[in-house]
Chain A
Amino acid sequence: MAPAPPDPRPLLTMSAITKSFPGVRALDGVDLDVAAGEVHCLLGQNGAGKSTLIKVVAGAHQPDSGEIRWRGEPVTLKSPIAAMRLGIATIYQELDLVEGLSVAENVFLGHEMATGGFVRSRAARTATAALLARLGHPEIDPGRLVGDLSAAGQQIVSMARALSHDVRLIVMDEPSAALDPDEVDNLFRIVGDLTAAGVSVVYISHRLEEIRRIGDRVTVLKDGRAAARGLPARTTPTREIVALMTGRDVEYAFPRRSTAPSVASATPVLRLENLGRAGEFEPIDLEVAPGEIVGLAGLVGSGRSEILETVYGARRPTSGRVLVDGRPLRPGSVTAAVRAGLGLAPEERKAQALLMLESVTRNVSVSSLTRFSRAGWVDRGAERAAARRCVRDLSLHPDDPERPVRTLSGGNQQKAVLARWLLRGCRVLLLDEPTRGVDVGARAELYAVIRRLADDGMAVLLVSSELPEVLGLADRVLVLREGRVVHTAPARELDEHRVLDLVMEGSPS
């Protein structure tokens, strides 16, 4: 599919890179080649493996296998310093600047201009001023504290730091995320200057229109693999790129939808009335009945996760309310939401859901402790028995609830989270990217579990970046664009193309 790169000897060639973390395979044989002087764009959903890949390039992660060639020669990037020595600089999204140091001190951090251990501050300031001028920001004072600069200013400092090395490749992780349009124009001008000087740029962004403007070629990552390599950035149709990011290589057997007539007519258990959060999503009305799976489809930044978290009380709404069984929830209170029967399987499983030091049992029982306790006293036998039942019920593997949860695979960790809510007797399940970090092969099993929970009477609200997942699993789909519901329809009346059109309507194609 991809045309061969025109340059016979690319600057950087990575082949069959793999990298696993406990429970998940982040990179599963990724290839990437970057030619000298090009802007190579890296696209992919959250969790597709972009961050891991650039950390490998930066020398911050060591790949488990695969080969890296730099100007044709095989190399190992065993530390960030090794990568820097070759001429690779990385500007991370979370800027890695020391706020309490001055601009010049940050630029030369780690390679200070010094004589006999004494920092030559004046020389560093002069050199920094020259770099800043080259970046089009002579107004930034090299002596200022970085913490006093705006996000855009800090970005410039990061860039100056990259240029203070003899750099041949700059990796930029979503550099435009914190910038306003004027600043983005300046960023693009800098990128243009750099590539004109023969420096290569690996550019990561969610915004397709940016890639159109400055990109030469595009590599799309999906599930830790390169779904497409070296596509021409300006001419590949948007639909094709988005389909590559959101599509599936494999056809999944989605569980059959419930045919029970009761579903449609059942009294809704969850109701959102005019629920909105200014700046994140516009007021939304929604009813979800027991046994129903409602999916929210949309691109990153469309407000999907924000809606879930507001329903759950983790964010406070600026308008409207959430009702469970007709009773309004106290706004902005997770405790109240859980008490009313809501459960959330959050997007960042490890950071937001799991107690990584603890056993599966304790992770499952944590929301239902009062069920197994009298006067605060935990009946551990009952706790273990109940957790074991839920673990069996969801076919969690391995079948030993006393194992530490961190030793489980991503799919089974997710089942542990679902088991928590199953045990709690939760009636409304909120799923945010339920198959994120779950190996492709294990997903069908999760789909079956989710559908069965619905069949047993749970109301499910599902968010996923994977269109086939939303369309295959949900009964009803809400399509979101920029915080607004643009379409609602039964899932069987929609297909991927239709949803893609709705999602991208009005954006350049």
Chain B
Amino acid sequence: MNSPGSRPASPPPADPAPVPGAGATLTAGPVGKPPAGRTDTDPLSRLRRLADLRNLSLVGVLAVLIAVGGFTKPDEFLSTDNLQLVLTQASVIGVVTVGVTFVITSGGIDLSVGAIVALASVWATTVATQDYGLGGILLCAVLVGLGCGLVNGVLIAYGGMVPFIATLAMLASARGLALHISDGKTQVVTVNQVLDLGLPDAYVLGIPPLVMIFAAVTVVGWLVFNRTTFGRRTVAIGGNAEAARLAGIDVRRQRLLLYLLSGLCCGVAAFMLVVLTGSGQNTNGNLYELDAIAAAIIGGTLLSGGRGTITGSVLGVLVFTTITNLFALNNLQSDVQQIAKGAIIVAAVLVQKGRSTP
């Protein structure tokens, strides 16, 4: 391995056997060293990793839901149209949830996501913005999201505010600003390029563009979470912020970046919502914060931080969206739906609690 950093020590390269010279002071070494060739392909650690896939139970829940749908409404539920609908509905909240998962894993919380989506969708659909066409709308939504995330991040990371309070304040002000800009009116999109993205003609191999955006955000989110230093640091500061700080991680900078990321996801989601509804309005994204947090939690992300999973969050979103769809198809009222959601949250958290208790 050619690592750029140099170590002061000159340990025996490649040779795992104890070198007499260096090992002389280490007489009290462990007894019975296992063979050197032990890697993570060994069955034990593999099993552990598999057990870490707590998402398995969510996949099971999803399978049951699909089976229920298949039995009760075989023609409608499994139709291409309906599947496209379910996935499209999951896309907007799904993108928001990916960002929120990062924030929660870091030990924070973002209550302002729904309000940011509303503000970004309104700002991006003003007459002035629409003059710049598709690019202008997308750029505006993303910039508004990043701007709100920046304010959140600065207040929390450098202002020392509690995330709950800072983002609660953002929730209130962003919704207020959205109302102010739109004057409570629905702003209809007149840019055809944007509207076309929501039409079946834009589907590629039957996949709506919004679903593709969701898929892309999920994949990128998963990679960032699991494969980058950014993801590692997120988990580290959520697990033990003091230890992370003393290990040399710039905790404040990381926190700022996390809320920026959440804001970015909101901006993208706002654009998707504009495409989906062909409009922007200040009531958009209502209660997204609760849906996103709930999805992340049932997916297996710890509300106290230190552990999170993008896959779990996305499965959580799919479970919730599928339930909504099933209930609608079976003409059940939304009150029953809400109760079912609550029950699922409780059940999922209890299952995780049982598992994580040592």
Contacts and interface: CB of A to CB of B under 8 A. Distances in A.
B9 A422 contact: yes
Interface residues on B, range: 35 or more
Interface stretch (A213-221, A450-458, A490-498): A450-458
A440 to B, nearest CB: 13
Given A370-B229, A377-B227, A393 B239 contact: no
B242 A357 contact: no
B9 A453 contact: yes
Interface in A247-295: 255-256, 290
B40 A384 contact: yes
Contacts of A399: 30, 33-34, 38
B97 to A, nearest CB: 22
A344 B8 contact: no
A382 B1 contact: yes
B244 interface: yes
Contact of A352 (B232, B246, B248): B246
Interface in B224-238: 227-230, 232-233, 235-236
A355 to B, nearest CB: 4
B246 A445 contact: no
Interface stretch (A127-135, A144-152, A334-342): A334-342
B20 interface: no
Contact of A354 (B27, B232, B243): B243
Contact of B3 (A337, A386, A398, A453): A386
A255 B28 CA distance: 12
Nearest to A314: B246
A108 interface: no
B255 interface: no
Nearest to B245: A334
A74 interface: no
A366 interface: yes
B236 A445 contact: no
A400 B45 contact: yes
Contacts of A378: 227-229, 232
Contacts of A371: 3-5
Given A393-B9, A399-B38, A444-B28, A352 B243 contact: yes
A484 interface: no
B10 interface: yes
Contacts of A448: 25-28
A168 B247 CA distance: 47
B30 A452 contact: no
B54 to A, nearest CB: 13
Given A352-B243, A357-B306, A366-B236, A456 B9 contact: yes
Contact of B232 (A290, A346, A362, A427): A362
B25 A425 contact: no
Contacts of B228: 373, 376-378
B43 interface: no
A400 B36 CA distance: 11
B59 interface: no
Contact of B5 (A312, A335, A368, A456): A368
A256 B25 CA distance: 8
Contact of A445 (B28, B40, B244): B28
A335 B248 contact: yes
B38 A400 contact: yes
B16 interface: yes
A376 B227 CA distance: 8
A19 interface: no
A449 interface: yes
A457 B306 CA distance: 35
B242 A351 contact: yes
Interface in A429-454: 444-445, 448-449, 451-453
B243 A452 contact: no
A82 B243 CA distance: 37
A366 B249 contact: yes
A309 to B, nearest CB: 9
A339 B5 CA distance: 12
A367 interface: yes
Interface string A383-407: 0111001001101011110100000
Nearest to A449: B26
Contacts of B243: 351-355
Contact of B246 (A346, A389, A392): A346
B127 to A, nearest CB: 40
Interface string B207-236: 000000000000000000001111011011
A376 B229 contact: yes
A256 B235 CA distance: 41
Interface of B: 1, 3-11, 16, 22, 25-30, 33-34, 38, 40, 45, 48, 227-230, 232-233, 235-236, 239-240, 242-250, 306-307, 358
19 contacts: A334-B246, A344-B246, A346-B246, A352-B242, A352-B243, A353-B247, A355-B235, A355-B236, A355-B239, A355-B243, A366-B244, A366-B249, A367-B248, A376-B230, A395-B28, A398-B30, A444-B28, A448-B25, A448-B28
Given A399-B34, A402-B45, 18 more contacts: A22-B358, A256-B25, A334-B246, A335-B248, A352-B242, A365-B232, A366-B232, A369-B229, A373-B228, A377-B228, A395-B28, A395-B29, A400-B45, A424-B5, A425-B5, A444-B28, A445-B28, A456-B8
Those 8 A-B pairs whose CB atoms lie nearest each other, nearest first: A338-B248, A397-B30, A457-B8, A456-B9, A445-B28, A395-B29, A369-B229, A355-B239
